[in-house]
Amino acid sequence: MSKFAENKEFNSKQIVTMLQNKVKPATGKLGIMVVGNGAVATTFMAGVISARKGLSKPIGAMTQYDKIRVGRGKEAKHLHYSEIVPMAKLDDIVFGTWDVYPQNAFESAVNADVLRAKDLLPIKEELEKIKPLKAAFDHDYAKRLDGKNVMKNKTRWEMVEALKKDIRKFKKANNCERVVVAWAASTEIYVPVNMEVHDTVEHLEAAMKANDTKNIAPSMCYAYAALTEGCPFIMGAPNTTVDIPAMWELADQTKMPIAGKDFKTGQTLVKSGFAPIISTRCLGLSGWFSTNILGNRDGLVLDEPDNFRTKEVSKLSTLESILVADNQPDLYGDYYHKVRINYYPPRNDNKEGWDNIDIFGWMGYPMQIKINFLCRDSILAAPLLLDLCLLSDLAVRAGRYGIQRFLSFFLKSPMHDYTKNETPVNHLFQQYTMLKNAIREMGGYEADEEID
């Protein structure tokens, strides 16, 4: 058994509190069905399988490493999440996937070229067993993909029905108690919110039944199928998918959790952690230019302007909600923010990002900060995917449903109900406080840090 994320024995006082808080234990198998069997998905699956064999460590996963202080003064203790709340164990996870290409997870991982042979070969057998189901796909949503492992001639509603069947079949065949569905597939073209279609479940369903391919992206079919099958849905790309009132209503109706979108991995993680330095010290900002090069299939899809537009919208929102012009017009009233992504094949998954930050200080004197991050995209995304799956599963067992703002920490576009004038929380350290407090509360401890 893996030494990570084992559920420790809870003391009787905690068990009573958890029962009162209705956190159900994490018994049985947890199915994780990943939409997309590409670089992120296979790096994630390989890492989990490798960690449970004791061959590597799940570094970067908060659910496996982070410790939260609970109690105060002499009572204070720093505990892993699994010591505060019952978490599913890595050993209990079973993987499934859908993809446009038919290659199994081993072949796809080799193709993605993220992990070395010495890390993949010892888990070859397990990865080979993970074979993608036929994708609910529309070529117009990702023009650079031409795989043939797709559902043929299906309307959007037929896609939903087929996906629901897939989930049920997978759950039964693998004897899973619970299933989480997570999107780690390519970024779709930008779908603007259309309040005549995306406002209510009734309108959404009508559009699916009318095969409205313009307003209903394939990703919406996956989300709809997951939620109505009693599975939380996670959106790892910046697609509009669950960020519409109709899906919030569906999540409430089905009592399933949903979170924001787009894994917060490299440049945006840096931005949401670094921008608070500028705002906390009341320094001014005149410009922030972010650019990066990457050469994986994700980069290829994002090279298409309509797909890049989806990413751009997601990436731009981070700064504007941390350095707010209306709050500090002298400091943030007039800054220029630009984000570029450049497809550059030689780098494959090893993204290089540059940030040039033009700030100003005392009496308006200008200064510059340069950040050069040589990262590995999928190595950063895989632990986020694990955390989002395990924490969404926890949320279901704790009876939490609808938008889960405590998961904002992991996402570039945290979800918020804009129809109620809610604003997203992008500030990394405020997000961390929300995360810690949610875990404390689910574990029967007091939330004790204010977010202001």
Ligand X SMILES: NC(=O)c1ccc[n+]([C@@H]2O[C@H](COP(=O)([O-])OP(=O)(O)OC[C@H]3O[C@@H](n4cnc5c(N)ncnc54)[C@H](O)[C@@H]3O)[C@@H](O)[C@H]2O)c1
What does the angle CA 302 – CA 303 – CA 306 come to, to the nearest 5 degrees?
70
d(CA 310, CA 296): 18
> Which residue is nearest to ligand X, using beta carbons?
38
Nearer to ligand X, 150 or 244 (CB): 150
Whether residue 3 contacts residue 58, with contact meaning beta carbons closer than 8 Å, is answered with: no
Give the nearest distance from C-beta 222 to ligand X in angstroms.
7
Which runs of consecutive H residues, i.e. helices, occur in 285-401?
A: 297-302, 305-322, 329-332, 377-397
Quick check: 197 and 207 in contact, CB under 8 A? yes
Closest separation in Å from C-beta 299 to ligand X: 8
Rounded least distance, CB 346 to ligand X, Å = 16
Question: What share of residues in the chain are helix, strand, coil (percent, to 5)?
Answer: 45, 20, 35
Nearer to ligand X, 50 or 296 (CB): 296
Nearer of residues 266 and 284 to ligand X, judged by Cβ: 266
CB of 77 to ligand X, least distance (A): 34
Q: How far is the CB of 156 from ligand X (least distance, A)?
A: 12
Nearer to ligand X, 69 or 164 (CB): 164
Nearer to ligand X, 79 or 223 (CB): 223
Closer of 145 and 390 to ligand X (Cβ): 145
First CA to last CA distance, the chain: 42
Of 109 and 251, the one with the shorter C-beta distance to ligand X is 109
Minimum Å gap between C-beta 31 and ligand X is: 17
Of 404, 373, 427, nearest to 232 by C-alpha is: 404
Distance of CA 227 to the CA centre of its chain: 16
Categorise residue 398: left if φ over 0, alpha if ψ from -120 to 50, beta otherwise: alpha
Q: Of 307 and 430, which has the nearer Cβ to ligand X? A: 307
Residues that bind ligand X (CB under 6 A): 35-41, 98-101, 112, 135-137, 142, 145, 147, 184-187, 218, 236-237, 262-263, 265-266, 296-298, 377-378, 380-381
Closer of 82 and 310 to ligand X (Cβ): 310
Minimal distance, residue 182 CB to ligand X, in Å: 10
Give 306: exposed, middle or buried? Use CB within 10 Å, 0-12, 13-18, 19+. Answer: middle
d(CA 253, CA 402): 9
Instruction: Give whichever of 218 and 402 is closer to ligand X, judged by the CB atom.
Output: 218
Sorted by sequence, the CB contacts under 8 Å of residue 399 that are 6+ apart come out as 22, 23, 255
Residue 433 CA to residue 429 CA, distance in Å, equals 6
Nearest by Cα to 234 from 255, 265, 216, 261: 261
Distances (CA, A) of 232 to 225, 227, 291, 358, 377: 10, 6, 33, 41, 24
CB of 220 to ligand X, least distance (A): 11
- Rounded to 5 degrees, what angle do the CA atoms 73, 75, 76 make? 70
Q: Measured from the CB of residue 320, what is the shortest distance to ligand X in angstroms?
A: 19
